[in-house]
Structure 1
Amino acid sequence: MQDRVATYSVLFVCMGNICRSPTAHGVFRHKVVHSGLASQVRVDSAGTHNYHPDKAPDHRTQRHAAQRGYDLSDLRARQMLANDFERHDLVLAMDWDNLALAQDLCPPEHARKLRRMTEFCQRFDSPVVPDPYYGGAAGFEEVLDLVEDACDGLLHHVRQQLQLRSRPL
């Protein structure tokens, strides 16, 4: 009997998919690669609105992420679709508004997959990852602080899920 390799897929969601969700995408992808799980974990991001189709993340987002060692240059914005709930095991919204919009799009049988990103924070106590778009550098740094923290907790969660899935039937 051949061992089966469990896989897990995470989608990060914000409004336009140019600041918060690509930050989470890039940070989590980096952590997944460095943890040796790249062949088992798929990472994606999307926006609840189609404001910036096929655009790279905001230049400020990219700059602040790069200063911490995360490359977001290959990411492109896209709008979230109903079939994303079928394709992903976990869909993480950055704030209450985008959570509500994602809930409206989510088929009832996949509702358990939808959560807030900050539920995985281990050090910070914030209900949301705030939108830095109209603010200054401090906002982008706060996003990175929250996202890095949440991604550490998320990586622990995903490891547990992969272990459960790889157990023999």
Structure 2
Amino acid sequence: MIRVLFVCLGNICRSPMAEAVLRSKVAKAGLDDQIEIDSAGTGDWHVGEPPHEGTAEILSKQNISTEGMKARQVKEADLLHYHYVVAMDAGNLGELHEMAGVKPTTSLSRLMDYVSESEIEDVPDPYFDGNFKEVYEMVEVGCERLLEHIRNEEGI
């Protein structure tokens, strides 16, 4: 089983959006028995909460479910359990690198690292500006490219 973890700050906007989008893509590709997807936040402010209403609304419009999703905080053990740990921005990636320390870890990257033609490196946090549509568009492309990368790397 290939395991993917998306990470943002509070785990209510960007990372659950990416989790839901990639789950949908994986299911459509018939790979849900081979790829496990989750999300977490570096902060603990929203632990136990469902995705932000802006995230839920934009995903609902795309017929992508957020059912059963609850925010959680990333743990050190996640860095050993997941094969791909994908941060939404440089700040969260830095937190993950600090958490990983000198221990062997998984692949740490940002989602936009998989979109080679993009000049934007970080997925902006819509919690502050409400721009869930722009974030969804970035996440959609990023997840498509991440899935392509995983399929190539893992031979599935």
TM-score w.r.t. length of structure 2: 0.94
Tell me what 2:6 maps to. Answer: 12
CA shift, 1:123, in A, is 5.5
Question: What amino acid does structure 2 have at the position aligned with 1:146?
Answer: M
Q: Separation in 1 of the partners of 2:118 and 2:61?
A: 21
Aligned length: 156
Deviations 1:48-75 (A, max 9, x none): 0011111100111100111112111321
Tell me what 2:30 maps to. Answer: 36
Root mean square deviation of aligned Cα = 1.5
CA shift, 1:34, in A, is 0.5
Q: Structure 1 regions of 5+ residues with no counterpart?
A: 1-6
The more displaced of 104-113 and 43-52 is: 104-113
Q: In structure 2, the residue corresponding to 1:51 is in which secondary structure?
A: coil
Q: In structure 1, the residue corresponding to 2:104 is in which secondary structure?
A: helix
Q: Separation in 1 of the partners of 2:104 and 2:82?
A: 10
Alignment partner of 1:121 is 2:115: yes
Q: In structure 1, the residue corresponding to 2:30 is in which secondary structure?
A: coil
Tell me what 1:87 maps to. Answer: 81
Aligned equivalent of 1:58, options 52, 57, 73: 52
Alignment of 1:92-111 (within 5 A): 92-111=86-105
CA shift, 1:151, in A, is 0.7
Tell me what 1:4 maps to. Answer: none
Q: Separation in 2 of the partners of 1:125 and 1:21?
A: 20
Q: Structure 2 regions of 5+ residues with no counterpart?
A: none
Q: Separation in 2 of the partners of 1:157 and 1:110?
A: 21
CA shift, 1:95, in A, is 0.6
Q: In structure 1, the residue corresponding to 2:10 is in which secondary structure?
A: coil
Q: Separation in 1 of the partners of 2:65 and 2:54?
A: 12
Calculate percent identity across the aligned residue pairs.
36
Alpha carbons 1:90, 1:114 under 8 Å: kept: yes
Change (3 A) 1:132 1:22: same
Which structure is larger by alpha-carbon Rg, 1 or 2? 1
CA shift, 1:161, in A, is 2.4
